[in-house]
């Protein structure tokens, strides 16, 4: 296999890397075909094997590794993030395909540099034996960790997300987090590359695969046993929660009619009770549920009174756009509001202002320079939103304290407070209508479910244009919207004791990373003989 790949032309090898990257996308939601990820990563390792043998110079090898990694990453990210262009189509007059297509290509091309960096680092200390599998794993993992953390981070399509949330293997996230699970996923996916190791006996070529299979099997067994111990709550133990969506696209929400806010409100009030009589004491609406077309929701007494009449004594948690007057102007926030009512009289009890904002979507970096180009954020709010403090517990009447994660925040592990500030559940508010009708909303939903697994907390998710659902502390879906059913309700599952990850942080994951990295520096004779082409 190595010889065949080495005989390909430079652009043929890059084309194969691109196709392998695209194939890897099928392992993520909504497909979850994990085997394709294993095939894709194995092909990438074989391509790097060939690149390592093509030339004698160090920088020549590193350059080829960089190019192969970039083409793999570009194929993976352009097929996994194609839906980003949908956000630019909401206001086609201001943005449209002239901006959306090149912006999406530019995003994928930029993020692919992390894959390029990982592969270039790996090939710099490449070996001709099985140790290269461990070294490849660590280098690519490090580049994926950087992608998820530097320059505000964008941890979308991490390797660990190829395991369906709520199933046994996903439970490893409660111990190692999504990054630890990603590390193990890369290791397992790269191991079959040993099958192509010429010069090795069958035993040495199959032994790594048997070890990887044993690791997967033991992990699955542990996860299945963990799920089998889950306790089902008795009826009435927890409040009943309803998540609701208006069913409107982003363009429909932004229609510039004089009664637009009222029309959207009526949609939410209808679905908060329909199609049956709701028994929920808590209703959750998505991020930015009511558009800002003619007025700001929290500033309009008549609008708030209408909410009170429609919700009665129930508690409403909803995404809102709010503004705050300051001495130097007006600050805008993408917020969540807790509104409770007694006899139909609404009371704004608490708000949370989104902490982790989306670059270029909710604010423009270097605004003083970019504003001269007449470019505005997609949200149409002047220079964009301002960031609030990190998430903290909110008091929700007649329910355990909650933490709210707004849209993009749910893709970042570790944002939920721990220790004494640990909440009893997670509320996720998002506007996935920006993503269009493709795979983006399903990818986002899968990532949010992993936050429940990591923290051992139930999740109530209200998504405009996406999947609204109630999820238990193991990431399992209890009830969800689908098709034309825009509301879903269920008794809120109970939280479980803090997970190993919540108690010890990344300590176990760090030890695993050090161990795998150390395999690269074991004496070669301990692991295998040198490969022969």
Give the pLDDT band of residue 376 (cuts 50, 70, 90). low
User: What confidence score (pLDDT) does residue 143 get?
Assistant: 98
Distance CA 116, CA 136 (A): 12
The string of pLDDT tens digits covering residues 429-448 is 999 988 888 899 999 999 99
* More confident position, 162 or 55: 162
Give the pLDDT band of residue 97 (cuts 50, 70, 90). low
Average confidence score pLDDT of the chain:
90
**pLDDT for 454 beyond 70:** yes
* More confident position, 231 or 212: 212
* Token pair recorded at residue 494: 């109970």
* More confident position, 530 or 287: 287
**pLDDT for 365 beyond 70:** no
User: What confidence score (pLDDT) does residue 103 get?
Assistant: 86
**pLDDT for 204 beyond 80:** no
Catalytic-labelled residue, pool 261, 287, 409, 489: 287
Catalytic-labelled residue, pool 139, 144, 354, 477: 354
How many Å from the N-terminal Cα to the C-terminal Cα in the chain?
8
Average pLDDT on 498-511 reads: 95
What lies within 8 Å, CB to CB, of 26 at 6+ separation is 33, 36, 37
Q: What share of the chain has pLDDT > 90, as a percent?
A: 72
Q: How many CA atoms lie within 13 A of 354 on its CB side?
A: 32
Place of tokens 């352009």: 78
**pLDDT for 16 beyond 90:** yes
User: What confidence score (pLDDT) does residue 131 get?
Assistant: 92
- Domain boundaries of the chain, sorted by first residue: 2-229+506-527, 240-495
Residue 264 to residues 243, 250, 305, Cα–Cα distance (Å): 16, 11, 15
Residue 386 annotated as catalytic: no
CB atoms within 10 A of CB 343: 7
CATH second-level architecture of 240-495? 4-Layer Sandwich (3.60)
User: What confidence score (pLDDT) does residue 530 get?
Assistant: 45
Average pLDDT on 508-518 reads: 95
Q: How many CA atoms lie within 13 A of 336 on its CB side?
A: 33
β-strand pairing of 240-244 with 487-491 = antiparallel
The string of pLDDT tens digits covering residues 114-139 is 999 999 999 999 998 899 999 999 99
Give the pLDDT band of residue 532 (cuts 50, 70, 90). very low
**Cα–Cα nearest to 448, from 416, 410, 481:** 410
User: 450 with 170: CB under 8 angstroms?
Assistant: yes
Residue 354 annotated as catalytic: yes
Residue 119 annotated as catalytic: no
Catalytic-labelled residue, pool 407, 409, 454, 455: 407
**pLDDT for 1 beyond 80:** no
**pLDDT for 529 beyond 60:** no
Average pLDDT on 457-468 reads: 96
What lies within 8 Å, CB to CB, of 59 at 6+ separation is none
Lowest mean pLDDT among 105-114, 205-214, 376-385: 376-385
The string of pLDDT tens digits covering residues 46-77 is 999 988 886 668 888 999 999 999 999 999 99
């Amino acid at each position: 296999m190595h010889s065949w790949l080495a005989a390909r032309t430079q652009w043929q090898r890059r084309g194969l890397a691109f196709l392998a990257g695209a194939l890897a996308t099928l392992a993520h939601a909504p497909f979850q075909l994990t085997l394709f990820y294993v095939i894709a990563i194995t092909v990438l390792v074989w391509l790097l094997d060939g690149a390592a043998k093509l030339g004698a110079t160090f920088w020549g090898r590193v350059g080829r590794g960089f190019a192969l990694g970039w083409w793999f990453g570009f194929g993976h990210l352009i097929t996994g993030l194609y839906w980003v262009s949908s956000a630019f189509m909401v206001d086609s007059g201001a943005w449209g395909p002239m901006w959306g297509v090149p912006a999406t290509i530019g995003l994928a091309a930029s993020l692919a540099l992390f894959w390029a960096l990982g592969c270039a680092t790996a090939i710099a200390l490449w070996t001709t034996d099985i140790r290269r599998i461990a070294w490849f794993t660590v280098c690519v993992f490090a580049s994926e960790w950087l992608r998820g953390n530097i320059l505000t981070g964008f941890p979308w399509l991490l390797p660990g997300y190829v395991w369906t949330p709520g199933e046994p293997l996903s439970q490893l996230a409660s111990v190692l987090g999504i990054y630890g699970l990603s590390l193990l996923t890369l290791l397992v996916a790269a191991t079959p590359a040993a099958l192509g190791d010429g010069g090795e006996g069958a035993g040495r070529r199959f032994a790594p695969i048997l070890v990887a299979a044993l690791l997967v099997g033991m992990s699955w067994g542990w996860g299945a046993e963990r799920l089998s111990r889950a306790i089902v709550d008795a009826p009435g133990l927890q409040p009943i929660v309803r998540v609701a969506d208006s069913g409107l696209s982003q363009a429909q929400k932004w229609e510039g009619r004089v009664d637009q806010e009222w029309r959207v409100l009526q949609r939410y009030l209808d679905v908060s009770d329909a199609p049956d009589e709701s028994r929920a004491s808590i209703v959750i609406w998505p991020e930015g549920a009511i558009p800002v077309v003619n007025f700001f929701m929290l500033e309009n007494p008549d609008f708030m009174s209408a909410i009170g009449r429609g919700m009665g004594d129930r508690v409403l948690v909803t995404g809102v756009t709010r503004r705050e007057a300051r001495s130097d102007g007006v600050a805008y926030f993408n917020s969540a509001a807790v509104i409770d009512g007694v006899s139909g009289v609404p009371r704004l009890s608490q708000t949370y202002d989104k902490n982790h904002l989306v670059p270029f979507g909710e604010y423009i970096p270097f605004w003083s320079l970019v504003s001269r180009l007449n470019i505005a954020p997609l949200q149409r709010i002047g220079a964009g939103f301002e960031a609030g403090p990190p998430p903290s517990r909110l008091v929700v009447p007649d329910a355990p304290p909650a933490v709210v994660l707004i849209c993009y925040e749910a893709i970042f592990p570790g944002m939920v407070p721990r220790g004494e500030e640990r909440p009893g559940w997670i509320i996720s508010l998002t506007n996935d209508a920006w993503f269009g009708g493709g795979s983006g909303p399903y990818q986002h939903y899968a990532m949010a479910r992993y936050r429940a697994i990591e923290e051992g907390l139930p999740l109530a998710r209200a998504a405009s244009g996406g999947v609204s659902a109630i999820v238990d502390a193991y990431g399992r879906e209890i009830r969800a919207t689908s098709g034309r059913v825009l509301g879903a309700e269920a008794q809120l599952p109970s939280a479980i004791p803090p997970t190993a990850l919540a108690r010890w942080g990344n300590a176990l994951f760090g030890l695993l990373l050090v161990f795998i990295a150390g395999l690269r520096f074991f004496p070669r004779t301990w692991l295998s003989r040198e490969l022969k082409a």
